[in-house]
Structure 1
Amino acid sequence: MGVSMGTARTWVERWERQQQRYAVDREERFTVIADVTEHLCAGRGRPLLLDLGCGPGSLSARLARRLPDAEIVAVDRDPVLLELGRTHHCEAARYVDAVIGEDGWTHALGLDRGVDVAVSTTALHYLPAPALLRTYRGLAALLRPGGALVNGDHFPPDEPPCAELTAHVGRRRAERTGAPGHAEEDWESWWRAVAADPELADLYERRAPAGASPGDGNQHLSVPGHTRLLHRAGFRHVTPVWQAGDSRVLVALKE
């Protein structure tokens, strides 16, 4: 039995609130990703978009509103988040269960043409560098000529003093814009509450242990570090297009 619409709406709304703790200017980041995607898809009648680490469909839903003619394929490994997305944002995307970065993960997507734009937000940082490179190579193979990867995440500078400064600026920005404070629900408490909901208990039990926390991954990898991996993967042009603190949107273009 699937999750009810009311339950899905409640948990997605709670997800949206707790995620504001982890992304400076999260809504503006979404808007910038949509701006870039819209620009890259201009003149294409039915663009194909790929949402990596889609969670419950937060970015897919926003892109579907901005580009109503787009076909969106949203991929994640978490059964709870995928079911919430399929229920609450059912018309936004086709949701696919796959482990990004594993061998053969792109075959699970069921794509019949080249991807115009692959997007992600606060999702690829959990991949270790070798898996991230494999993912970048897989995406380069999926994208059509002129396509792009648009990735919003935290990209700290290499030098610790500079990383401390950008993190501080991000925290102060969050304070000024009214991001949730210490008392608000965070990642761990959101998942504890999910586990206690009888309607989600079976889905929660199916979660892989590796998906239970954000993990270590590559979250300390700087923009130059990502750029080197992207160049090795076959992306010719890489540039940041937006920044608030250490939160950035990085665009990699395939020729």
Structure 2
Amino acid sequence: MTDTLAAADWQAWQRSWDRQQEWYLPDREERFRAMLDAVEALVGPEPRILDLACGTGSISDRALRRFPGATSTGVDLDPALLAIARGHFAGDGRITFVSVDLRDPGWTGRLPHPTYDAVLTATALHWLRSDELRTLYGQVAGVLRDDGVFLNADHMPDPDTPRLNDADRTYRKERQARAKAEGAQDWVDWWSAAAADPVLAEPVAERFTIFGNPADGDHADGEVQSAGWHADALREAGFAEARPVWCSVSDAMVLGLK
């Protein structure tokens, strides 16, 4: 198994993951750019980053290319995505990966550093329930240095604009259907391909044990809240300032400054 993993084309898997995510989020690179702009403006071009619920390391990949002097710690629970991340970044001493469950009260004790300049996450924390997310925001505040920055880009629809939300949802579904007809992979397709690959079959099977198989339905029990809710929750968790700094109709990025 080790030899098989060593021979894998991890860069191809990383690109495949990015393309699958872009099927859902055509403005994904725009939000990453805005995220890293905020990091540079607030903590400088050599940040120590905590990549929260890092997946394959998409945020770290962009951060380390933009900031060659940066370092990153990627944390996630998904063994398949962590396998891709570790393979993609093999030999890069600037980044470390740690398997943690963000619902575990002691997860911060497994981090290699006591504090970070920036904690970054995207399209991940909607898997948590609101009470769990409030707890997590307090834990994030605890590992950020003074004047450190937290950025969360995720699904944050505004319930006060139902007609706009409905129109956007219809438009996105039509766009996705066209891309799917042209061969784009969605979430279920991507995981089916990963499970069929001998390189990833073992970690994907482990992943299905933890989270369930996407082909059997969505097992997430998280809750989606507005950007205003997130900003309020960050202030309650101890952040001195918090506000949205980027948005589309359905998504937003909220910044918390400690």
TM-score, length of structure 1 as denominator length: 0.87
Partner of 1:233: 237
Partner of 2:62: 62
Match of 1:4 among 3, 6, 9: 6
Q: 1:71 Cα shift?
A: 1.4
Q: Which structure is higher in helix share?
A: 2
Partner of 2:139: 138
Q: 1:57 to 1:5 in 2, by over 3 A?
A: farther
Contact 2:147 2:257 in 1 (8 A): yes
The farther-off stretch of 27-36 and 236-245 is 236-245
Partner of 1:157: 158
Contact 1:23 1:247 in 2 (8 A): no
The alignment partner of 1:21 has SS state of: helix
Q: Which runs of 5+ in 1 are unaligned?
A: none
The alignment partner of 1:135 has SS state of: helix
The farther-off stretch of 162-171 and 150-159 is 162-171
Measured in 1, the distance between the counterparts of 2:7 and 2:32 equals: 24
The alignment partner of 2:118 has SS state of: strand
The alignment partner of 2:231 has SS state of: helix
Partner of 2:105: 103
Q: 1:100 Cα shift?
A: 1.4
Q: 1:240 to 1:5 in 2, by over 3 A?
A: farther
Q: 1:24 Cα shift?
A: 3.9
Q: 1:163 Cα shift?
A: 6.0
Measured in 1, the distance between the counterparts of 2:234 and 2:213 equals: 28
> What per-residue deviation string (whole Å, max 9, x for no partner) do you get for residues 212-245 of structure 1?
5562412x21112212221221112111111122
> What per-residue deviation string (whole Å, max 9, x for no partner) do you get for residues 108-140 of structure 1?
11214x211100010111011111111100010
Q: 1:83 to 1:140 in 2, by over 3 A?
A: same
Partner of 1:206: 206
Match of 2:255 among 243, 251, 255: 251
Partner of 2:117: 116
Contact 2:8 2:199 in 1 (8 A): no
Alignment root-mean-square deviation, CA: 2.4
Contact 2:116 2:143 in 1 (8 A): yes
Percent of aligned pairs sharing the same letter? 35
Residue type of the alignment partner of 1:184: A
Residue type of the alignment partner of 2:75: V
Residue type of the alignment partner of 2:89: H
User: Does 1 or 2 have the higher relative contact order (CA < 8 Å, sep 6+)?
Assistant: 1
Q: Which runs of 5+ in 2 are unaligned?
A: none
1:37-52 → structure 2 map (5 Å cutoff): 37-42=39-44, 46-52=46-52
Q: 1:5 Cα shift?
A: 5.2
Contact 1:155 1:247 in 2 (8 A): yes
Measured in 2, the distance between the counterparts of 1:47 and 1:108 equals: 20
Q: 1:65 to 1:170 in 2, by over 3 A?
A: farther
TM-score, length of structure 2 as denominator length: 0.86
Partner of 2:148: 147
Contact 1:56 1:81 in 2 (8 A): yes
Q: 1:21 Cα shift?
A: 2.0
Q: 1:187 to 1:235 in 2, by over 3 A?
A: same
Residue type of the alignment partner of 2:222: G
Measured in 2, the distance between the counterparts of 1:128 and 1:170 equals: 28
Q: 1:107 Cα shift?
A: 0.8
